[in-house]
Amino acid sequence: MDELSPHAAQLRAAMTGPQQDADWPGGLWAACDQLTSWELGALLPDTYRTLADESAPDHARRVARQVTWSKVSPSFTAATLTALYTALAASPRPTDVRYAAGGLLRCTEPWDERELAAPAAVLVAAALRKPGEYADAALAVAAVAGPETEQALVTRLRTVHADSPLRLAEIEVILTTGPRERAVLAEDQWYGPLSGDWPPLTDPVAERTADALYAELARHVLRSAAAHLAALHAGELPYAADQAFTTADADTLRRAARLALRRDEPWAGEVFSTLLPQLAVAPTAAKTLPSQRACIALAQVVEAWPTPESVAALREARRVVRHAGVTKKLDRLLRRAERNLGRRPEAALRLPDLGLGPDGSRRLPCGDHTAVLTVTDEATLTWERADGRALKSLPATARRDHPDQVTAARDLLGKARAQIRTLTRALEGGYLAGAVYRYDRWRDALATHPVARGTAGRLIWEVEHAPGDWRAFLPAAGPADHPDPAPDPSAAVRLWHPARATPAERDLWRDRIADLRLRQPFRQAYREHYRAPESGHSTTMFQGHLVRIEAVLGLAVRQGWNIEDDILALPLDGFTAWLGIAGSLYPGAAGWAEVGEVALRRADGSPQALAGMDAVRLSEVLRSVDLLISAGSFAWCDDTHAHGPESRRQLSRLYAQPLGRTAQLRRAALRRILADHLTSGRMELDDRHLRLDGHDIHLATGRVTRSGDPVEITLPTGRQAVPLPFLPYDEALLERVVRTVAHLMEREGSAAHS
């Protein structure tokens, strides 16, 4: 462990010695990518010393920069941590205190306090030039520097944050913790790591210690903020846009909210239900917010650590907000929060019953009439007379004489539909989290729950009768399809996924769904699935596809991908998926680009073998990539966007490629939907087209041609639209193909009669 590997030693020699003639096998990037956590920790002192030396040779600075971009998180011994502090203190910058604090958290041995004290004091002094920006890291390093340095820092912070009571209260609690606990808080940055920053790494033991001290403060902070906003909305305090909280207070609110939701504190739901909506709207008619920064910060916390109550609060904030820009942000965050709820299975099942009875209905009196809310597959609101006779619509007398009761009934309908939508997205998002439930919890919270059972009943589930013995069942098929014998209450239940099934099992469930004419809440039986390569940390199955960047980025944001160093990154529990795009990626980027490989990295930055991944989680990652490519490739763009003949040739090549997974499943669905017409011979399904009366309908694009010439078809909408047959899942392109078939058949029939 004391000796560096040959490539690490060569990197050190390149930073500290003359330029070398020989290059590294695979290049400089490959050498840096092979560094272990310990090797990176050993090299970083030389790296920062080289970057701070303006007289250092260009080749040395280039190598040093590349080392800092390593994706692995460093690890330090007592000796390398001392070397790090000494190197940083030689020419300190305010930002260096963050590396010093991060080093404390990543040190695997007891550090030498006497050796660290002097350089730590220098780093804290440098951070005082920007005390508000680097205060948390400075507080961690000050605990090592000694009482005098810490007191000077605290005095300065109390002056800087004199108008931020929430931040001052937080600092007092931080001072009761040790350096490692403070370093944990310093890792919690508003934004993710920038280029050259170390991957975030938290110490679970230190984090739990900090949580215990911070939990009561979090409740105080959030309730104080809610009380302040209530006073604003009551007119007890003057209102000014974006002035309700200082920047420091907003950051304190974010950390308090993160702790409350991560720990799923029992009081958090009540606080969020008032705090978030009041943050999203001014007490006047203005389109401003009391604090846009705090509103977005809390919404981002809900996205990362959702609970049913906080998601409902975020949805209410989205409903009342008037600011157009904030509306778009909350829309995106709400979709992600609903999906991420699936990563917290126990929280996701905590749905209120909305007062519905065992039959899934609730009656709300409105004078001489009654509103009846019923939840089956969907939530509906109907009206009855006093004698129980059903009405076709809301009676005028109820609207006129009982507006409050009518509004309450409609609000309840909205809540029921929102709960169903949130549950649907959470269950589907549980695939990526590997969600597994106890059978008794699943039965009570899903299978028999008055709001959830309609959704859960139309999905295929698996129950573990014995270790490794999973048996699939479909509740909506009736009692005959329920598990037999009844599972143990502690048995595991999970959603069925085609990646775990055989081809025969997949065909069986698709036929079963079609026979029952069952519309699943999300695509399950017909879900795309992908297999991992036998070896390696990446796959090139999508490499070479040409995509439109703006289309890819627009969907990527909604799917949870982020842009990091011109690579799309999908952060997940325990690892991150990376999708290479041969182009410059930034918000608003446009043009064509070629897709590269897909790779996985663990939380510490080290590569993750694809073959070692859970089959369902890997399949879902690759499905998300396939969705991005499908949305950004030729099917969504016309030739006017192509830049030159080479781009058009590339698009033509892609058009001629075999169908992707999504289009293959579309073909399987059409084979069942149009079975009678296919049997009669009027239609034919080949590898890429549905052929009907001389027309070819492309299964991947929906384009219609006749003898190679494009056919423009305008499908009727509204009441003129042809009624759709049963569709096993909801997809716009599948619906368009079926409507196109119906339209062509109707047109050909009309022509024959005339």
Q: What is the pLDDT of residues 280-331, one digit of tens each?
A: 999 999 999 999 999 999 999 999 899 999 999 999 999 999 999 999 999 9
Residue 161 counted as domain residue: yes
Tell me, yes or no, whether 630 and 598 share the same domain. Answer: yes
Name the nearest CA neighbour of 428 among 345, 544, 540, 490: 345
Do 144 and 20 fall within a single domain? yes
> Could you give the CA distance from residue 28 to residue 34 in angstroms, rounded to a whole number?
10
Same domain, 146 and 92: yes
* In-domain check, residue 735: yes
Residue 263 maps to a domain: yes
Q: Are both 644 and 685 inside the same structural domain?
A: no
Whether 429 is covered by a domain: the verdict is no
For residue 326, which of 280, 370, 294, 290 has the smallest C-alpha distance?
280
Is 61 in the same domain as 131? yes
Query: Is there a domain that residue 506 lies in?
Result: no
* 141-148 long-range contacts, CB within 8 A, separation 24+: 141/97, 141/100, 141/101, 141/104, 141/179, 143/178, 143/179, 143/182, 144/104, 144/111, 144/113, 144/116, 144/117, 144/120, 144/179, 145/116, 145/117, 145/120, 145/121, 146/117, 146/120, 146/121
Range of the domain at 710: 667-753
Please indicate, yes or no, whether residues 149 and 209 belong to a single structural domain of this protein: no
User: Are 600 and 675 in a shared domain?
Assistant: no
Domain boundary pick from 343, 361, 383: 343
Regions of the chain short of the pLDDT cut 70? 1-2, 19-27, 29, 189-196, 200-210, 480, 534, 604, 632-660, 701, 707-710, 718-722, 748-754
Query: Which backbone phi and psi does 733 adopt, to 5 degrees?
Result: -70, -40
Number of domains, the chain: 4
Residues 694 and 629 grouped into a single domain:
no
In a domain, 353, yes or no: no
Residue 748 lies in a domain: yes
- According to the model, what pLDDT value does residue 649 have? 52
Residues 29 and 90 in one domain: yes
Pair (171, 257) in one structural domain: no
Both 700 and 631 in a single domain? no
Can you give the pLDDT at residue 641?
A: 40
Tally the C-alpha atoms within 13 A of residue 434's C-alpha that lie toward its C-beta. Answer: 8
Closest CA to 456 of 573, 360, 371, 313: 360
**All residues at 6 or more sequence positions from 221 whose CB lies less than 8 Å from its CB, including other chains:** 166, 169, 170, 252, 253, 256
Does one domain contain both 12 and 72?
yes
Domain boundary among 187, 216, 250: 187
The tokens for 451 are 């709001």
CB 125 within 8 A of CB 154: no
Collapsed DSSP state (helix, strand, coil) of residue 503 = helix
For the chain, the 3-state helix, strand and coil shares in percent, each to the nearest 5, are 55, 10, 35
Q: Please report whether residue 559 resides in a domain.
A: yes
Which residues contact residue 638 at a Cβ distance below 8 angstroms, ignoring those fewer than 6 apart?
Answer: none
Domain termination site, one of 620, 655, 690? 655
Question: Which pLDDT value is given to residue 633?
Answer: 63
